[in-house]
């Protein structure tokens, strides 16, 4: 009985490849080949034995080809091999980072969210340092079919042991129904938000939510949902999806699959998806949720990205996925309110506050009357400016109109 | 080597003797001042040289024979051809053929292309190397297989050692892309351009015999003469001195790694908010991918704020040349030329100035340029909580890099090391460096992707960075963060055997490298 897990090859970094053979007798034999063996050889050996003991493996040969993997990776790879050979519902949980059990509010800022392939530990380690509002550990398209199982374990350990420096921790599960099984592995590990790919109906939301409720131990810890609309049918049902549950916090659109579904080419001008994007924004806003745009796939062309963000913002989107860290600062900047918008909003909110203080029901700016929805929008913009660090919370103290 | 060890001023235990010669322990920065005179080469007479100036001999073998090659000599070469050098290998091929033994190779640096010489180290043709070692040569030395002790020096330290007579070069072999039969030579013309030849300056001035090897021989005069024929004994024409595409090495590409770009951006921002980037300032960034991108970020800031730099110190490359041609940098003070754009600029632009280890780095001179630079960006393999840094060995004890101009540059006004907090699980910020190459008192700022540590001695920088939003932490905090992520490494127990001595810029021994421990 032999099992293998992990990645091997010259280009592999911060990962390891394990080969586990169960034996009838002879005790445990651990062979570690590591590029960091002079510094961490003993610790790696100890961890290997600890994980085997945890799963009550008594006779085995475990070989590890290590490329500087951190303990949470090594443990995930060994566990993945063990799960192939023995049936167990035990899970070997690695250390929990301080920040990784913090919940996020429903209206958390979600301008940028960085996609991370779920079976690539190297990219996870520094994912939190670039200032993305969220990180997505992806179990879907970026994971090869034969790596789905080991990726779940790696993602689970990453949710516990990687410091994402305050970024919202998201997981994209696989398309339902397979995606429902993914939930079992992550629901209790502090995940803030689950992305449901290729979502087409309110039923998908209900199924996802049921599964979460079944497995989640701490019922008070919120797990938000972000369905991704990637088909003509999904667009058609967008409002039903957005309003299917209070846990749905945002609707995202995925244009690669959507354009394929309607039989169109995806172009930079994006006229082919204008309707879908507007429909998704409208459905999201009708249900009081955020609307999140599709990723921009050219990671070299920053001018095109900037233009794309401006158009997206103009349509009503509040954020966009990132497939490379370089895109984050452009996206954060692009969706944050700009200086002119902030100045205008400050005037309106200030006038409103003065009206309140004077006990007047009428808000006026100069000779112009300001309607309540205008005040509401201005207040939202100010909140966003404060949250994105562009405006101090007590800006009014220093404000001279 | 004597077994007796003494503790130097940096607290490191070093031997009293290296390769049978007494050495001076490091005494502290600026503390050791030698007395006496510089080394003076023998007087030559024109009567011994052809009056028509034709010093060309048939081939390298004849040149080496006529230069008197014999057992135990010191042979020097330069590294301007980087990983495309063919000449050092040719020299020792001849030595091997002649059956000469026990040579000391004294390169200004070695590269992976010199792995060719490992069999000669094994069979005793070469007894040891005094110069940088990386890759397989570094591994060979680290595992204690070299019969004598290696000695590593900075570029300035190498000039100093030759000038002071600490290393007496018997035969200098100077490869050049262009030369005349009299021995005038440069790296600008011909096929195998290296731009400068400054690392061979000391060799030409002080060696007993000097051989110029070229693949492009032009009639007198070969101008400009970076190497003056008046120092040269023999000239040799060969098919090829170097492989042009390898002269530009892989370290001269801008990084694409998002982590490194982030570190580069933070470094540039640090220099902006502290006012280091100001009108008329000067900077030096090395050839590494991170350093190159810092240069690009500097350019952005200078453009945005309408700031011009008076000069930039090279290694020159296309990015630096672009800054000068755009008018953002007035002068490039070049020490080595990393790409063909650098060579072109040097050929065409009088503001692209040649420098040498003598002008830039030599510590036993009447000043040098290093101290004039406002900010220098350097690398390191490790930094400890006292800001001491290591640039030659990795944490596992293997000798993997040369010192280059690194030690010399520490005398610049602000020294910044942009470094990842860890590499492949190995923390870069540690309790104590494996090998001490630069004392912490000269190292001002460490920029990592997870925070910036400023040397407590630099209270001025600590004040200036306040309110900038940059993530300033103590170096202790950074060290703990690295260990939290990676785990605290076990400390490899080095073997007692010393395999290399690390010289400080003044010729004293600042530390030694021990043979790596068996796992």
| Per-residue pLDDT reduced to its tens digit, B262-308 | 999 999 999 999 999 999 999 998 777 788 889 999 999 999 999 99
Please give the sequence-ordered ranges of beta strands (E in DSSP) within B278-412, or none if there are none: 281-285, 309-313, 329-334, 352-354, 375-377, 382-384, 389-390
Residues of chain A contacting B517 with CB distance shorter than 8 Å: 38
Strand-pair category, B498-503 with B509-514: antiparallel
In a domain, A247, yes or no: yes
Give the pLDDT confidence score for residue B381 in this predicted structure: 95
A46 touches chain B (CB under 8 A): no
In a domain, A92, yes or no: no
Q: Is the dihedral of CA A237, A242, A248, A249 positive or negative?
A: positive
Indicate if A183 and A268 belong to the same structural domain: yes
pLDDT digits 0-9 by tens, B81-109: 999 999 999 999 999 999 999 999 999 99
Residue A166 CA, chain-centre distance (Å), reads 12
Q: How many Cα atoms sit within 13 Å of A161 on the Cβ side?
A: 24
CB contact under 8 A, B487 and A13: no
Residues of chain B contacting A37 with CB distance shorter than 8 Å: 519
Q: Which of B262, B487, B519 sits opposite A37 (nearest CB)?
A: B519
B/e letters for B279-289, b = 16+ CB within 10 Å, e = fewer, are eebbbbbbbbb
Contact A118, A138 (CB under 8 A): yes
Q: DSSP for A86-154?
A: S------PPPPPGGGG----TT---SEEEEEETT-HHHHHTGGGG--SEEEEE-STTS-GGGHHHHHHH
Contact B506, B166 (CB under 8 A): no
In a domain, A216, yes or no: yes
Q: What Å distances lie between residue A212 and A141, A185, A252, B430, CA to CA? A: 22, 10, 20, 43
Residues of chain B contacting A67 with CB distance shorter than 8 Å: 424
B518 touches chain A (CB under 8 A): no
Per the structure block, which two tokens stand in for B22? 């007494």
**Rounded-to-integer distance, Cα A354 and Cα A363, Å:** 8
CB contact under 8 A, B397 and A126: no
User: What residues of chain A score a pLDDT lower than 50?
Assistant: none
Q: Of A293, A315, A335, which closes a domain?
A: A335
**Rounded-to-integer distance, Cα B179 and Cα A161, Å:** 62
A325 touches chain B (CB under 8 A): yes
Interface subset of A 127-156, CB within 8 angstroms of B: 129-130
pLDDT range class, residue B3, cuts 50, 70, 90: low
Longest dimension (CA), chain B: 72
What residues does B257 pair with on adjacent strands?
none
Per DSSP, the three-state class of A75 is helix
Q: Is the dihedral of CA B183, B187, B189, B193 positive or negative?
A: positive
Indicate if A156 and A54 belong to the same structural domain: no
Give the pLDDT confidence score for residue B182 in this predicted structure: 98
**Rounded-to-integer distance, Cα B418 and Cα B449, Å:** 9
Indicate if A73 and A171 belong to the same structural domain: no
Give the Cβ contact number of residue B53 at 10 Å.
16
- Residue range B337-346: average pLDDT? 88
Closest B-chain CA to A13:
B424
Q: Is the dihedral of CA A368, A371, A377, A379 positive or negative?
A: positive
Q: Of A27, A56, A85, which closes a domain?
A: A85
Strand-pair category, B171-176 with B13-15: unpaired
CB contact under 8 A, A39 and B485: no
CB burial of residue A240 (10 Å; 0-12, 13-18, 19+)? middle
CB contact under 8 A, A38 and B261: no
Contact A96, A56 (CB under 8 A): no
pLDDT range class, residue B246, cuts 50, 70, 90: confident
Run of H or E residues at B512: strand B509-514
**Rounded-to-integer distance, Cα B189 and Cα B218, Å:** 10
pLDDT higher than 60, residue B214:
yes
Indicate if A146 and A287 belong to the same structural domain: yes
Residue A24's domain comprises: 2-85
Indicate if A126 and A183 belong to the same structural domain: yes
Residues of chain A contacting B258 with CB distance shorter than 8 Å: 126, 130, 324-326
Q: Which of A39, A125, A324 sits opposite B490 (nearest CB)?
A: A39
Q: What domains lie within chain B, and their CATH numbers?
A: 52-130+167-247 (3.40.1080.10), 250-492 (3.40.1080.10)
Q: Give every CB contact of residue B165 below 8 A, 6+ residues apart in sequence.
A: B38, B39
Q: How many Cα atoms sit within 13 Å of B212 on the Cβ side?
A: 35
* Helical residues (DSSP H) of B218-339, grouped into ranges: 244-247, 258-273, 289-305, 318-325
Q: Is the dihedral of CA A364, A369, A371, A376 positive or negative?
A: negative
Residues of chain B contacting A69 with CB distance shorter than 8 Å: 425
Give the Cβ contact number of residue A150 at 10 Å.
24
Indicate if A317 and A366 belong to the same structural domain: no
Q: Is the dihedral of CA B475, B476, B481, B487 positive or negative?
A: positive
A177 touches chain B (CB under 8 A): no
What residues does B472 pair with on adjacent strands?
B452
CB contact under 8 A, A39 and B259: no
In a domain, A231, yes or no: yes
**Rounded-to-integer distance, Cα B291 and Cα B304, Å:** 20
What residues does A172 pair with on adjacent strands?
A138, A195
**Rounded-to-integer distance, Cα B259 and Cα B450, Å:** 10
CB contact under 8 A, B258 and A130: yes
Closest B-chain CA to A125:
B485
In a domain, A95, yes or no: no
User: Which among A186, A66, A57 has a CA at the least distance from the CA of A121?
Assistant: A66
Q: What is the CA angle B139-B426-B494, rounded to 5?
A: 45
**Rounded-to-integer distance, Cα A57 and Cα A49, Å:** 9
Per DSSP, the three-state class of B159 is helix
pLDDT range class, residue B252, cuts 50, 70, 90: low
Residues of chain A contacting B519 with CB distance shorter than 8 Å: 37-38, 41
Per DSSP, the three-state class of B486 is helix
Helices first, then strands: H and E counts in chain B:
15, 30
Closest B-chain CA to A162:
B485
Q: How many Cα atoms sit within 13 Å of B165 on the Cβ side?
A: 9
Per DSSP, the three-state class of A277 is helix
Give the pLDDT confidence score for residue A302 in this predicted structure: 92
CB burial of residue B1 (10 Å; 0-12, 13-18, 19+)? middle
Give the pLDDT confidence score for residue A363 in this predicted structure: 82
CB contact under 8 A, A126 and B259: yes
**What is the average pLDDT score of chain B?**
94
Indicate if A275 and A303 belong to the same structural domain: yes
Q: What ipTM does the predicted assembly reach?
A: 0.90
Share of chain B above pLDDT 90, in %: 86
pLDDT higher than 60, residue B1:
no
CB contact under 8 A, B424 and A13: yes
Per the structure block, which two tokens stand in for A295? 């990723």
Indicate if A72 and A116 belong to the same structural domain: no
pLDDT digits 0-9 by tens, B365-402: 999 999 999 999 999 999 999 999 999 999 889 998 99
Q: How many Cα atoms sit within 13 Å of B77 on the Cβ side?
A: 25
Task: Write down the pTM of the prediction.
Answer: 0.93
Give the Cβ contact number of residue A359 at 10 Å.
6
A326 touches chain B (CB under 8 A): yes
Indicate if A123 and A238 belong to the same structural domain: yes
CB contact under 8 A, A130 and B517: no
Indicate if A107 and A240 belong to the same structural domain: yes
Q: Which of B262, B486, B489 sits opposite A70 (nearest CB)?
A: B486
Strand-pair category, B422-423 with B426-427: antiparallel
Q: What Å distances lie between residue B79 and A121, B84, B132, B138, B169, CA to CA? A: 39, 9, 10, 16, 16
CB burial of residue A220 (10 Å; 0-12, 13-18, 19+)? exposed
In a domain, A282, yes or no: yes
Give the minimum alpha-carbon distance from B482 to chain A in angstroms, rounded to a whole number: 12
Residues of chain A contacting B261 with CB distance shorter than 8 Å: 326
B450 touches chain A (CB under 8 A): yes
Mutation for A interface: B395, B397, B399, B424, most A CBs within 10 A:
B424
CB contact under 8 A, A126 and B426: no
A43 touches chain B (CB under 8 A): yes
Residues of chain A contacting B490 with CB distance shorter than 8 Å: 38-43
CB contact under 8 A, A39 and B489: yes
Q: Is the dihedral of CA A272, A275, A276, A277 positive or negative?
A: positive
Q: What Å distances lie between residue B119 and B132, B143, B145, B519, CA to CA? A: 18, 15, 11, 25
Mutation for B interface: A31, A32, A35, A36, most B CBs within 10 A:
A36
**Rounded-to-integer distance, Cα B80 and Cα B249, Å:** 11
In a domain, A77, yes or no: yes
CB contact under 8 A, B486 and A163: no
In a domain, A110, yes or no: yes
Give the minimum alpha-carbon distance from B452 to chain A in angstroms, rounded to a whole number: 13
Give the minimum alpha-carbon distance from A163 to chain B in angstroms, rounded to a whole number: 9
Give the Cβ contact number of residue B117 at 10 Å.
24
Contact A349, A378 (CB under 8 A): yes
B256 touches chain A (CB under 8 A): no
B424 touches chain A (CB under 8 A): yes
CB contact under 8 A, A40 and B490: yes
What total of structural domains would you count in chain A?
A: 3
Residues of chain A contacting B516 with CB distance shorter than 8 Å: 38
Residues of chain B contacting A322 with CB distance shorter than 8 Å: none
Asked if the bond preceding A312 is cis, omega within 30° of 0, the reply is no
Q: Of A55, A85, A115, which closes a domain?
A: A85
pLDDT higher than 50, residue B2:
no
Closest B-chain CA to A124:
B259
Residues of chain A contacting B423 with CB distance shorter than 8 Å: 68
**Rounded-to-integer distance, Cα B443 and Cα B290, Å:** 18
**Rounded-to-integer distance, Cα B131 and Cα A89, Å:** 59
Indicate if A71 and A109 belong to the same structural domain: no
Indicate if A130 and A10 belong to the same structural domain: no
Residues of chain A contacting B485 with CB distance shorter than 8 Å: 70, 125, 163
A13 touches chain B (CB under 8 A): yes
CB contact under 8 A, B262 and A37: no
Mutation for B interface: A37, A74, A100, A126, most B CBs within 10 A:
A126
B486 touches chain A (CB under 8 A): yes
Q: Give every CB contact of residue B511 below 8 A, 6+ residues apart in sequence.
A: B8, B10, B12, B14, B26, B435, B436, B437, B501, B502
């Amino acid at each position: 009985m032999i099992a293998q897990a992990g990645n091997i090859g010259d280009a592999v970094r911060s990962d390891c490849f394990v080969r586990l053979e169960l034996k009838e007798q002879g005790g445990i034999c651990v062979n570690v080949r590591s590029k960091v063996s002079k510094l961490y050889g003993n610790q790696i050996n100890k961890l290997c034995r600890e994980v085997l003991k945890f799963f009550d493996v008594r006779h085995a040969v475990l070989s590890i080809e290590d490329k500087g993997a951190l303990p949470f990776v090594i443990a995930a790879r060994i566990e993945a091999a063990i799960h192939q050979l023995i049936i167990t519902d035990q899970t070997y949980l690695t250390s929990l980072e301080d920040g990784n059990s913090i919940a996020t509010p429903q209206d958390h800022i979600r301008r940028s969210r960085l996609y991370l392939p779920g079976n690539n530990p190297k990219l996870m380690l520094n994912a939190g340092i670039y200032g993305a509002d969220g990180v997505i550990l992806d179990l879907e398209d970026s994971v090869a079919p034969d790596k789905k199982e080991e990726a779940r374990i790696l993602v689970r350990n990453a949710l516990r042991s990687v410091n994402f420096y305050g970024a919202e921790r998201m997981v994209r599960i696989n398309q339902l129904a397979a995606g429902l099984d993914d939930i079992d592995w992550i629901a209790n590990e502090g995940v803030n938000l689950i992305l449901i790919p290729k979502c087409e109906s309110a039923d998908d939301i209900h199924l996802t939510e049921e599964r979460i409720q079944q497995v989640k131990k701490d019922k008070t810890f919120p797990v938000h949902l972000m369905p991704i609309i990637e088909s003509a049918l999904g667009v058609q049902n967008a409002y039903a999806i957005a309003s299917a549950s209070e846990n749905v916090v945002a609707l995202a659109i995925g244009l690669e699959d959507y354009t394929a579904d309607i039989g169109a080419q995806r172009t930079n001008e994006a006229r082919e998806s204008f309707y879908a994007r507007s429909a998704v924004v409208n459905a999201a806003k009708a249900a009081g949720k955020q609307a999140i745009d599709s990723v921009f796939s050219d990671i070299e062309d920053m001018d095109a990205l900037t233009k794309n963000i401006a158009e997206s913002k103009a349509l009503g989107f509040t954020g966009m996925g990132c497939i490379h860290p370089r895109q984050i600062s452009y996206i954060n900047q692009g969706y944050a309110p700009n200086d002119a918008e902030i100045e205008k909003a400050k005037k309106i909110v200030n006038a409103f506050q003065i009206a309140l203080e004077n006990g007047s029901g009428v808000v006026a700016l100069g000779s112009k009357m300001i309607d309540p929805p205008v005040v509401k929008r201005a207040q939202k913009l100010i909140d966003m400016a404060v949250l994105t660090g562009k405006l101090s919370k007590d800006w009014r103290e220093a404000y001279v109109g | 080597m004597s077994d007796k060890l003494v503790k130097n001023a940096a607290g490191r235990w070093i031997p009293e003797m290296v390769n049978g010669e007494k050495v001076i322990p490091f005494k502290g920065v600026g503390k050791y001042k030698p007395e006496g005179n510089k080394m003076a080469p023998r007087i030559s007479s024109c009567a011994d040289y052809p009056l028509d100036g034709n010093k060309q001999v048939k081939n390298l073998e004849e040149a080496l024979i006529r230069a008197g090659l014999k057992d135990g000599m010191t042979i020097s070469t330069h590294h301007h051809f980087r990983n495309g050098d063919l000449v050092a290998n040719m020299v020792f091929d001849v030595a091997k053929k002649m059956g000469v033994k026990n040579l000391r190779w004294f390169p200004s640096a070695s590269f992976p292309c010199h792995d060719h010489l490992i069999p000669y180290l094994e069979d005793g043709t070469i007894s040891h190397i005094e110069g940088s070692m990386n890759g397989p040569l570094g591994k060979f030395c680290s595992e204690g297989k070299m019969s004598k002790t290696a000695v590593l020096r900075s570029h300035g330290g190498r000039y100093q050692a030759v000038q002071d007579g600490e290393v007496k070069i018997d035969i200098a072999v100077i490869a050049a892309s262009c030369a005349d039969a009299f021995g005038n030579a440069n790296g600008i013309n011909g096929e195998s351009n290296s731009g400068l030849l400054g690392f061979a300056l000391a060799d030409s001035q002080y060696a007993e015999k000097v051989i110029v090897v070229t693949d492009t021989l032009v009639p007198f005069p070969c101008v400009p003469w970076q190497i003056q024929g008046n120092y040269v004994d023999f000239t040799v024409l060969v098919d090829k001195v170097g492989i042009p595409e390898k002269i530009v090495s892989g370290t001269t590409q801008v990084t694409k790694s998002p982590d490194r770009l982030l570190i580069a951006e933070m470094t540039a921002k640090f220099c902006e908010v502290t006012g280091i980037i100001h009108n008329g300032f000067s900077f030096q960034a090395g050839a590494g991918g991170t350093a190159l991108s810092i240069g690009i970020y500097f350019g952005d800031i200078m453009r945005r704020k309408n700031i011009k730099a008076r000069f930039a110190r090279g290694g020159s490359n296309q990015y630096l040349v672009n800054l000068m041609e755009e008018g953002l940098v007035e002068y490039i003070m070049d020490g080595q030329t990393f790409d063909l754009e650098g060579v072109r600029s040097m050929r065409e632009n009088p503001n692209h100035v040649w420098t040498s280890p003598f002008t830039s780095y030599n510590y036993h001179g009447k000043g040098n340029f290093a101290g004039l630079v406002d900010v220098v960006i350097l690398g390191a393999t490790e930094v400890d909580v006292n800001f001491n840094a290591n640039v030659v060995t990795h944490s596992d004890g293997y000798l993997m890099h040369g010192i280059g101009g690194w030690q010399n540059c520490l005398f610049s006004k602000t020294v910044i090391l942009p470094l990842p907090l860890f590499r492949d699980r190995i923390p870069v910020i540690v309790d104590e460096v494996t090998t001490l190459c630069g004392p912490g008192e000269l190292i001002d700022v460490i920029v990592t992707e997870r925070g910036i540590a400023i040397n407590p001695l630099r209270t001025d920088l600590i004040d200036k960075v306040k309110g900038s939003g940059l993530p300033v932490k103590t170096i202790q905090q950074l060290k703990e963060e690295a260990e939290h992520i990676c785990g605290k490494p076990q400390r490899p127990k080095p073997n007692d055997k010393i395999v290399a001595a690390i010289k400080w810029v003044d010729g004293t021994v600042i530390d030694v490298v021990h043979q790596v421990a068996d796992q």
